[in-house]
Structures are given as C-alpha cells and as structure tokens.
C-alpha cells in the first residue's frame, strides 16, 4: 500500500486490514447483482414464453372454431339447402333439385382451387383480384395478416370457399324443375367468373371498391354476404326465371311442395349452419363472434314470427311453409348486419324482413306473374337488399369499431350513431350488386343457351327431371 503524501510502500498491521465483514458484504453485493441480472433474464424469457403460449392458444382456438364454421357452412348447402329445396318441388323433380346443390359443391370447389380464390382475394384492382393465388400458390399454414392473422391461410381460403359453394346453389331455386343439367353447369361456371368472384373481391378483397376495412373507396358494411351472396344470387335468380319463362302448366295446375317434412328438416339445418356463416365471419373465436351468433338467432326468430303474423292476418292461419320461409328470410336479412348490430336491432331487422319478404312472395310475385319456383328472389334478393340497407341504419361501433380516424379514435358506424353517409354507401353497394348480378346472369344465360339450350323438351319436363336428366327416381314405390 502507498502513502498519499509520501508514496512509499507502507506495511499494514493486522489490525489495519479490512475486516471479514467487509469482504462478506462485498461478496454479498456482487452475488446479489449477478442473481438480479439472472432473475431479470429468466423473467424476460418466461414472459416471452407465456406470450408465445398465449398466441399459440389463441391461434389454436381460433382455427378450431373456423374449421367448425367451414363444416357448418358446407352443411348448409348439403344437406341443408338440398333438403329445403328438394321438399318444395314436385316429387318427379326431387333428385334433380337436390342434384343442383350437390353438383355445385363439386363445381365451386374446382373453380375456387384453380382460379376463384385468387380472383376474389388476390391483390388486383378495385373490381377484381390478381393471379398470385392461382392453383392456391402461396396459400399454406402461415396466416395471411391482411385477412385473418390468427388462423392458417388455408383455413381462411376454405371458409370463403363454402360461401362460393352455396351462393350459386341459391339461384337454383328459381330455375328448379325446368333447366337442363348441362346448361346449369355451363351457366354457373360463367356466373362464378363474371359475377361472384368480382363481387367478393369488391366487398371483401384487399383494395376492393366496397371494402370497408382494407382500403375500399366506398366503405359498404357487409359482415357475411348480404351483397356478395344474397343480393347477387337473388337478382340472378329473377333474371333466370324471366329468361327461362314459367314451368309448363304454371298458373293452371297445382304445383304444391311434395314433402314439407323434408323442407322443415332442411330449414332447421340452414338455421344451425348459419351460425357458422355469420359468427364464423368474425374469423376468430371472440366476442364479435358471440355478438354475430346472437344477432343471427334473434333475426331468424323475429322474421319467422313476422311472416307467420302476416300470413295469419292475410290467410286466416299460419303455415309451416310460411314459418320456415320467414326463418330463412330473417337469416338472409341479418347476414350483412350480424357483426355490426346489437340484439334488439337484430330483432327489428328480422321482423321487418319477415313482413317484407312475405309481401314480395305472396303479393308482388303474384301480381307480376313471374315463376320464381322456390322464391329465391323474393327471399334472398329482397331480404338481402333490406338487410344491407338496415345495416347502414343500425350499425354501431359498440359492437364493431370498424371506422377510425388517423389518430385511432373510433368513429360512428351507422345512421343512428351519427354516420349519415353510411346509408348512402350501403345503397351504392346494393345497386352494384343488383346491376352486376342482373347483367351478368343475363349474359351467362344467353351463352349457356347458345351452347346447350336452356330447357329440356316438353315431354322431358312433363316426365320430370329426375328421369329425363338423371335416369333415376326419388321414390321407388314398387320396391
């Protein structure tokens, strides 16, 4: 040791050395610092591990719900819609009608896998998607953050496929009992390319003209397909009915449903499947999915009550056919609003849809005289239009804060919340869907007619499409 004044070595006596307590204190402090650093590192690692586990659990839960929703929406087409439509036609056409739904499950899947998904959800222009997902190139287990950041891209693609499957099947209700099977296949293929894929891109695709959350110029609120599915299919159904003309004997002989039992079963399946249709459109297992689930159920029940009440007052008694028709009308009308409205507005939308669709089916259709065999336009076209417009009225940021300003502040969603312009945006979306569906359907029908002819021969139609188109009968009473 050195003296400060006289820098020469100075020997310390034993009494002058630091005590053992000093050294123990130093060792304790050094050990504490090291342990603190290690604990901090371990805490950070554990926190990151917990965050990763939470994200993994959320992804697994969301994916499980979305896979169930995929199955529920497919369940709506077959057996739901197949049974619902199959029971409403005459016995000689039951298989042909059910064949429409089943064959379109096949056709839509093939088109979707090859090019449909890319045209609907690829990045392109405001009217149609690009070709980056052709043959599902780049669609794998990793999520697509633009559409659904917590589920695999494959799951999102499959869920949207089920919508593309049921939409053209809804149109078949208008041409049931009188369109050639080959014509139906050609017409539907063209219709998907000309109408469905562009409309899906405009409303749901990134950069689509009407997309409310991904850069659309005209933000039209459509949670699960009021414009994309129901308005396009409904107006296309009306055009098909007009181009084809009425069924042989329409208006002169009875054409009652051959089995309301089948139709009731099918309607119940549609009601159950619609929870996947609407609540699944939240794209995760969240509170928004719960809200859409409740709105869907309330809308269906209120519409069935509305239709039954109108029928009771108009005809003197309610019918099971009216009840199930009203139920479907309510499901249609609540579809665009399901993820934007609270339960009481859902009841209002459903009840109004039941009354309005009853009016369209029983009064307007009868006065105009068109033969929309199974009321695809009166239920889906009319109900979808009403629901899309009422979404602009009742949408609330309390359910889904979809609109925000540059600072992140939540803005009003619907008319009653203060967003007056939204009703106009909804009307534009409705007009685009009606125009595209009507013009596209007409052109596709004319091309299909030129290639295959529209209707079977009069004898084939009289015998029924089960025998004339498929060589089978739905009921073999001799066996």
The secondary element (H helix, E strand) that includes residue 104 is: helix 94-111
Distance CA 361, CA 137 (A): 44
Give pLDDT, residue 165.
Answer: 97
Q: What is the pLDDT along the chain (479 residues), one digit of tens a residue?
A: 445 555 555 555 555 556 666 666 766 666 766 666 666 666 667 767 666 666 666 788 999 999 999 999 999 999 999 999 999 999 999 999 999 999 999 999 999 999 999 999 999 999 999 999 999 999 999 999 999 999 999 999 999 999 999 999 999 999 999 999 999 999 999 999 999 999 999 999 999 999 999 989 999 999 999 999 999 999 999 999 999 999 999 988 889 999 999 999 999 999 999 999 999 999 999 999 999 999 999 999 999 999 999 999 999 999 999 999 999 999 999 999 999 999 999 999 999 999 999 999 999 999 999 999 999 999 999 999 999 999 999 999 999 999 999 898 999 999 999 999 999 999 999 999 999 999 999 999 999 999 999 999 999 999 999 999 999 999 987 76
Instruction: Tell whether the torsion through CA atoms of 285, 289, 294 and 300 is positive or negative.
Output: negative
What's the 3-state SS for 356-408?
A: HHHHHHHHHHHHHCCCCCCCHHHHHHHHHHHHHHHHHHHCCCCCCCCCECCCC
Give pLDDT, residue 388.
Answer: 98
Q: How far is CA 111 from CA 81, 88, 202, 384, in A?
A: 21, 29, 19, 25
Task: Kindly provide the b/e burial profile for residues 56-69, where b requires at least 16 CB atoms within 10 angstroms of the residue's own CB.
Answer: eeebeebbebbbeb
Q: Please tell me the pTM assigned to this model.
A: 0.89
Give pLDDT, residue 160.
Answer: 98
Distance CA 375, CA 94 (A): 16
Distance CA 354, CA 308 (A): 8
Give pLDDT, residue 38.
Answer: 65
Distance CA 281, CA 339 (A): 8
Give pLDDT, residue 476.
Answer: 83
The secondary element (H helix, E strand) that includes residue 148 is: none
Cβ within 8 Å of residue 199, ≥6 positions away: 227, 228, 232, 432, 433, 436, 437
Q: Please give the backbone phi and psi of residue 410, each rounded to the nearest 5 degrees, phi first.
A: -70, 135
The residues with which 159 forms a beta bridge, in sequence order, are: none
CB hemisphere CA count around 465 (13 angstroms)? 24
DSSP 3-state assignment of 477? coil
Distance CA 357, CA 331 (A): 12
- What crossing angle do the helices spanning 153-175 and 94-111 adopt, rounded to 10°? 150
Q: Which residue, among 307, 359, 344, has the nearest Cα to 328 in the 3D structure?
A: 307
Distance CA 392, CA 478 (A): 56
Q: Where are the alpha helices (DSSP H) in 280-342?
A: 287-315, 320-334
CB contact at 8 A, 440 and 434: no
């Amino acid at each position: 040791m050195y003296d400060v004044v006289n820098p020469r070595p100075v020997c310390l006596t034993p009494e002058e050395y630091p005590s053992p307590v000093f050294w123990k204190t130093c060792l304790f402090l050094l050990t504490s610092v090291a342990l603190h650093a290690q604990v901090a590192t371990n805490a950070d690692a554990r926190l990151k591990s917990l965050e990763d586990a939470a994200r993994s659990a959320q992804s697994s839960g969301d994916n499980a719900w979305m896979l169930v929703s995929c199955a529920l929406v497919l369940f709506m087409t077959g057996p739901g819609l197949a049974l619902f439509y199959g029971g409403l036609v005459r016995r000689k056409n039951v298989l042909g009608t059910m064949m429409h739904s089943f064959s379109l499950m096949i056709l839509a899947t093939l088109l979707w896998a090859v090019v449909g998904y890319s045209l609907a959800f690829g990045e392109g222009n405001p009217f149609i998607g690009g070709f980056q997902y052709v043959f599902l190139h780049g669609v794998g287990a990793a999520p697509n953050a633009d559409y659904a950041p917590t589920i695999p891209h494959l799951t999102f693609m499959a869920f949207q496929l089920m919508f593309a499957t049921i939409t053209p099947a809804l149109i078949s209700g208008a041409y049931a009992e009188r369109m050639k099977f080959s014509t139906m296949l050609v017409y539907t293929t063209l219709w998907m390319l000309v109408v469905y894929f562009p409309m899906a891109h405009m409303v749901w695709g990134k950069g689509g003209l009407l997309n409310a959350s991904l850069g659309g110029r005209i933000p039209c609120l459509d949670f699960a397909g009021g414009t994309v599915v129901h308005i396009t299919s409904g107006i296309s159904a009306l055009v098909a009915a007009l181009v084809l003309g009425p069924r042989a004997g329409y208006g002169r002989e009875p054409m009652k449903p051959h089995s309301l039992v089948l139709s009731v079963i099918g309607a119940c399946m549609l009601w159950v499947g619609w929870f996947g249709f609407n609540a699944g459109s939240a794209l995760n297992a969240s509170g928004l999915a719960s809200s859409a689930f409740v709105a869907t159920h309330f809308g269906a029940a209120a519409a069935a009550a509305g239709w039954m009440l109108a029928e009771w007052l108009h005809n003197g008694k309610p019918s099971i056919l009216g009840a199930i028709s009203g139920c479907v009308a309510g499901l249609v009308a609540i579809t665009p609003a399901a993820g934007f409205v609270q339960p009481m507005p859902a009841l209002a939308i459903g009840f109004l849809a039941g009354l309005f669709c009853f009016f369209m089916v029983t009064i307007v259709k009868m006065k105009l005289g068109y033969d929309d065999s199974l009321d695809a336009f009166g239920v889906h076209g009319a109900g979808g239009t009403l629901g899309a417009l009422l979404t602009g009225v009742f949408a609330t940021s309390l359910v889904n804060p979809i609109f925000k300003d540059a600072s992140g502040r939540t803005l009003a969603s619907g008319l009653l919340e203060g967003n007056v312009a939204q009703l106009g945006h909804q009307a534009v979306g409705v007009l685009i869907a009606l125009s595209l569906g009507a013009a596209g359907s007409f052109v596709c029908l004319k091309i299909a007619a030129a290639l295959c002819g529209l209707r079977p021969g009069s004898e084939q139609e009289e015998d029924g499409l089960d025998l004339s188109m498929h060589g089978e009968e739905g009921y073999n009473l001799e066996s």
